[in-house]
Amino acid sequence: MKKVVKFGGSSLASAEQFKKVGKIIHADDSRVYVVPSAPGKRFDGDTKVTDMLLHAYQTASEGNDVDEELKAIKARYDEIITGLELKDFSLDDDFAEIKKNLAENPQSDYAASRGEYLNGKVMAAYLGIPFIDSAEVIFFNEEGNLNDYKTYKRLTERLAQNERAVIPGFYGMGKDGNVKTFSRGGSDVTGSIVARASRADVYENWTDVSGFLVADPRIVPDPKPIKYITYRELRELSYMGASVLHEDAIFPVRSCGIPINIKNTNAPEDAGTWIVESTCQKQDYVVTGIAGKKDFCTIFITKAMMNSEIGFGRKVLQAFEENNISFEHMPSGIDTMTIVVHADEFIDKEQSVVSAIHRLAEPDSVEIESGLALIAVVGRGMKSASGTAGKLFTALANKGINIKMIDQGSSELNIIIGVENRDFETAIKAIYSTFITK
Ligand SMILES: Nc1ncnc2c1ncn2[C@@H]1O[C@H](COP(=O)(O)OP(=O)(O)O)[C@@H](O)[C@H]1O
Ligand SMILES: N[C@@H](CC(=O)OP(=O)(O)O)C(=O)O
């Protein structure tokens, strides 16, 4: 049995948290590869080390001195090093190098990645096992995506030489020879890559909640944990904002059937959530999870006889493609079509998109609206349960919430609804209490 264990920033925010992590690793001999994040928030209002480093980069790129900022970051690590009583260990040389690099050639990915790099060094010293610098084993291609071939070749070789090791999360080496990071939260992706490369039996992802919860705990108080969830369900939920696991983290393990177990560092005895390819486990509820995001825009297009005009949809979508905007959903009627996009991608280009739609598709009208929130109600049990949509709409109607859009995926795995931003939290609470009964 071989396990890869990733610990999130909240699990490594202080010496006290590190000690819990040490206990977890020592409690199970099969926890052989450890992927740490940078120290996260110790309390509400605290700053993650990654954000402190990005701030230092900003200061350096404006040509200013970063001594004070690096001192504050070093203090975070020194508290951990002292609390763990690590003798003959210091990060002085590493900080001198970071200071030099930030002054001579400030790069934001390099700066952000140092949080995991330094924490990896502390972790390796604490556990007494080798440190593998991710820049030597994880590679990106020219487009900035993972270079699968090179990564799995090098990483597999290095892991084969090390029965146990610490591999810091979040970064690798870019095609240009500079350090490059994944997007925020990307240590989850590193853990998944290490699990695949080592052909682990389980990828344990340790965080500060007892698994994937049915809804965001910041919206629904004390939501129930999900015991089993499929990769596909999870993909829908994490894409729609359930932030506990990076949305790309399932791909490496999914392709080789390695389950992910989300666990709580502060309550290690809790079962957590199993993310699996498929399962015969009985579900407690028809709905597996609920997640959502605010701030979408809709582009509502009308044209008489739209349905019979071959190529109409393509022309409309070309307008978005020309403006380099990806679309989220496209519900349509007989003479109408709505395109839903992220506001932050769309707002600056709205007039250019509208004129392109007119030029390419010659519609009767184009109306745009902002302030839409999307909520995904996801559940593999939905296709065999009748009345789910009816229950959902009744729950929202009872709260006086106007549904602005409905999109039921053809997989019958999810129903996406659009509501006004201001109704977002109320809608999630209403859906939760309708489907998740005591
Ligand atoms: N459906 C959900 N289930 C569990 N946690 C969620 C969910 N949606 C949002 N979260 C939030 O995700 C947080 C854990 O993710 P993150 O902060 O990235 O952890 P880590 O630092 O361990 O990587 C939780 O503390 C919780 O606030
Ligand atoms: N430290 C990085 C990467 C990461 O995955 O962190 P965490 O595991 O704390 O979400 C970030 O803040 O984005």
Tens-digit pLDDT profile for residues 208-235: 999 999 999 999 999 999 999 999 999 8
**In the structure encoding, which two tokens stand for residue 68, read together?**
């004070």
CA–CA gap between residue 70 and residue 129 (Å, rounded):
27
| pLDDT for the residue numbered 109 | 98
pLDDT of residue 410: 66
| Angle, CA of 299, 304 and 310, to the nearest 5° | 85
Tokens standing for 5? Answer: 């264990």
Closest ligand, as measured to the CA of 212: 1
Query: Which atom of ligand 1 is nearest the CA belonging to 211?
Result: 4
* Gap from CA of 422 to ligand 2 centroid (Å): 29
CA of 243 to the centre of ligand 1 (A): 5
Kindly state if the Cβ of 9 falls inside 6 Å of ligand 1.
yes
Closest atom of ligand 2 relative to the 188 alpha carbon = 5
* φ, ψ of residue 256 in degrees (nearest 5): -125, 20
Please state, in angstroms and as integers, the Cα–Cα distance from residue 194 to each residue in 11, 26, 61, 173, 262, following that order.
19, 20, 33, 15, 16
Residue nearest to atom 8 of ligand 2 (CA): 8
Q: What is the pLDDT of residue 160?
A: 97
Helix (H) or strand (E) holding 32: strand 31-36
pLDDT tens-place string over residues 15-58: 999 999 999 999 999 999 999 999 999 999 999 999 999 999 99
pLDDT tens digits, residue range 314-352?
999 999 999 999 999 898 888 999 999 999 999 999 999
How many angstroms is it from 9 CA to the middle of ligand 2?
Answer: 6
> What pTM does this model have?
0.88
Q: What is the pLDDT of residues 241-291, one digit of tens each?
A: 887 899 899 999 998 999 999 999 999 999 999 999 988 888 888 999 999
Q: Which of 298, 416, 283, 78 is nearest to 273 (CA)?
A: 283
Report residue 152's pLDDT band, with 50, 70 and 90 as the boundaries: very high
238 pLDDT more than 90: no
Q: What is the C-alpha to C-alpha distance for residues 411 and 382, in angstroms, rounded to an integer?
A: 10
Q: Is the CB of 180 under 6 A from ligand 2?
A: no
Pocket test for ligand 1, best of 43, 244, 266 (most atoms within 8 A of CB): 244
> Which residues does 11 contact at the CB level (< 8 Å), separation at least 6?
17, 20, 21, 37, 40, 206, 207, 208, 265
Locate the ligand 2 atom nearest the alpha carbon of residue 185 and give its number.
5
* Residue 257 alpha carbon to ligand 1 centre in Å: 23
Region of 39 (left: φ > 0; alpha: ψ -120 to 50; beta: rest) is: beta
Q: Rounded CA gap, 224 and 261, in Å? A: 16
The closest residue, in CA terms, to atom 23 on ligand 1 is 8
From the CA of 210, which ligand is nearest?
Answer: 1
Ligand 1 centroid to Cα of residue 242, in Å, is 7
In degrees, to the nearest 5, what angle opens at C-alpha 189 toward C-alphas 186 and 190? 95
Provide, rounded to the nearest whole percent, the portion of the chain with pLDDT above 90.
87
Cross-strand bridge partners of residue 294: none
Q: How far is the CA of 409 from the centre of ligand 2 (A)?
A: 31
Mutation pick for ligand 2 pocket among 14, 35, 48 (CB with most ligand atoms within 8 Å): 48
Q: Residue of the nearest CA to atom 5 in ligand 2? A: 185
- Measured in Å, residue 240 CA sits from the centre of ligand 1 at 13
For the cut 90, the answer to whether the pLDDT of residue 411 exceeds it is no
pLDDT greater than 80 at residue 239: yes
CB atoms within 10 A of CB 325: 19
Angle between helix 49-61 and 108-127 (nearest 10): 140
CA distances from 255 to 122, 196, 250 (A): 32, 8, 9
Q: ipTM score of the complex?
A: 0.94
Residue 207, ligand 1, Cβ within 6 A: yes
